[in-house]
Structure 1
């Protein structure tokens, strides 16, 4: 079980994404976060440093597409905080006519957050419940390229659906869905 230090100020949903990425690409079912300033139980453990360059290499390795036809956020499913952030990023904007934006969350949250769902869908995005792009056979819908903020989806989509993927941050995904050029 990896003991990770140096990650400051990550939200619960960012930690959820980290865990999903580690489980899919690294076969690591769990991890421990060292408390800031605490020594933890790290004595005698192998140390591996991961910096910006290594992170960029992983992102580049999972990315083969530039211009997505589908932008997908929600693998694992979006939390209330993520829905709130997405609604804010989409406020006053429209999804491009040549793109689709899918936001996936649980049925419970979709039903519990009707104002957030309405705000997101006002942009032309779809809020979907209890599904994931990884197992949705997007290639049967004619989709060939997907942008996602999910390393897990970026890892599985090429082999399961045969699509090209672009791994980007949540904010970059919204920009890709809405902006031209």
Structure 2
């Protein structure tokens, strides 16, 4: 790998052991990825807030020790200087205010407070969400970033035209410290062109539809780059909203490993299918029709057999203000079934806006709760006694049954809220 004089100085340890470890990590990673060099980045989103699972493994709650071990892959604890790149903490293991609802022990909550203070001292913005682009971190077109979180990566690559690979905890932490990232993958023009054509022949109108389409596309193309085409898909009533693009990308990154897609007329890097394909023939053509839609809907609820619903989860990726408002409108003047819990997850900044707008009060009067900073899959928590849950998120329907062993129903926000009100899943 070609290194600059500044890279060489970092690698030689002239800026301290933490910087040296970070640069060594990036060089190893870059060589495995076939990168010829490193490039500058000033926009890094990682996950370096450590919870009780990490502390138990290491036998300590010391934030410096946890960061050295899990973020820098070091056996010894080193002094870590302030981060060089603009850095954000992604979604974490607990809600900072409502950790008791998650069953977090007070001693663990205190240790996570220490971990947060450690990150703040290094210059990290505690956005604590899987959707940083909803709360102020909106990369510019063409900007080289180093982000974790699959749903955020596919969003900024595709919808915003920024450039990032799906980073890990270690590589993102190394980029925070050095302001460098390997020049490979989706940082390169050639990797961003479409390889697969998806013809959408079934109407895709609602947010539920975009979840379903995304999940199906991910299954079809896996880690490839799809370009989508179809009547009404990119203009008029069929044009997707930012929320729908958020849900679509998250679903595609769950069933497959989609990090980028093209929707000509909506996403910025290709105005036509031909431009997205860079004038080449697609490697494969897939058709999303009524049968594909129906099969995917059934697949998303494949783990569910019991219709008595214990828990409803809305907000994966974290809900927008519009989504929180929708839940509030559906719950206005009503109350949840005694047997069912409803939790809505949204970024902390948006929760504050929802509180000011009265949405949180309406939701919580109905017996539900609005949480931030985490989600059941990341935090690995559920209301006690949960056997069956329902969600409006294809991503959560994909992951939560596998992580926690519960049954999962997938449907629209309205269908999910109805399940929370009635305590039972009813097909739409």
Task: Give the TM-score taking structure 1 as reference length.
Answer: 0.90
Q: Which consecutive residues of structure 2, in runs of 5 or more, have no partner in the other structure?
A: 1-224
Query: What is the correspondence of 1:19-98 to structure 2 with a 5 Å cutoff?
Result: 19-35=249-265, 39-41=272-274, 44-45=281-282, 46-63=284-301, 64-65=303-304, 66-98=307-339
The answer to whether 1:143 aligns with 2:373 is no
The answer to whether 1:103 aligns with 2:344 is yes
Q: What is the match of residue 170 of structure 1?
A: 413
CA distance in 2, matches of 1:150, 1:156: 10
Q: Which has the higher strand share?
A: 1
Question: Can you list the C-alpha shifts for 1:97-152, whole angstroms capped at 9, x where unaligned?
Answer: 11011100011111122111112112111101111121333457221111001111
CA distance in 1, matches of 2:328, 2:383: 29
SS of the counterpart of 2:336?
Answer: coil
Question: Can you list the C-alpha shifts for 1:73-106, whole angstroms capped at 9, x where unaligned?
Answer: 0110000111111111111221111101110001
1:5 equivalent among 220, 229, 236 = 229
Q: Per the alignment, do residues 167 and 161 of structure 1 end up closer, same or farther by CA in structure 2, a change over 3 Å counting? A: same
CA distance in 1, matches of 2:371, 2:398: 21
CA distance in 1, matches of 2:369, 2:308: 19
1:17 equivalent among 241, 244, 247 = 247
CA distance in 1, matches of 2:422, 2:309: 12
SS of the counterpart of 1:10?
Answer: coil
SS of the counterpart of 2:286?
Answer: coil
Question: Can you list the C-alpha shifts for 1:9-31, whole angstroms capped at 9, x where unaligned?
Answer: 32211110110010011111121
Q: Per the alignment, do residues 98 and 180 of structure 1 end up closer, same or farther by CA in structure 2, a change over 3 Å counting? A: closer
CA RMSD of aligned residues (A): 1.9
Q: CA deviation at 1:53?
A: 2.1
Question: Can you list the C-alpha shifts for 1:26-79, whole angstroms capped at 9, x where unaligned?
Answer: 11112111228x743256223211123212212212212233210100110000
2:364 equivalent among 94, 97, 121 = 121
Q: Per the alignment, do residues 30 and 39 of structure 1 end up closer, same or farther by CA in structure 2, a change over 3 Å counting? A: closer
- Contact conserved, 1:100 with 1:125, CA < 8 A, in 2? yes
Worse-matched range after superposition: 127-136 or 14-23? 127-136
**What is the count of residue pairs matched by the alignment?**
180
- Contact conserved, 1:62 with 1:154, CA < 8 A, in 2? yes
- Which structure would you say has the larger Rg? 2
Worse-matched range after superposition: 112-121 or 124-133? 112-121
Q: Per the alignment, do residues 139 and 109 of structure 1 end up closer, same or farther by CA in structure 2, a change over 3 Å counting? A: closer
Higher relative CO (Cα under 8 Å, sequence separation at least 6) belongs to 1
Worse-matched range after superposition: 72-81 or 85-94? 85-94
SS of the counterpart of 2:287?
Answer: coil
SS of the counterpart of 1:54?
Answer: helix
Q: Per the alignment, do residues 180 and 142 of structure 1 end up closer, same or farther by CA in structure 2, a change over 3 Å counting? A: closer
Q: Which consecutive residues of structure 1, in runs of 5 or more, have no partner in the other structure?
A: none
Task: Give the TM-score taking structure 2 as reference length.
Answer: 0.40
CA distance in 2, matches of 1:108, 1:23: 25
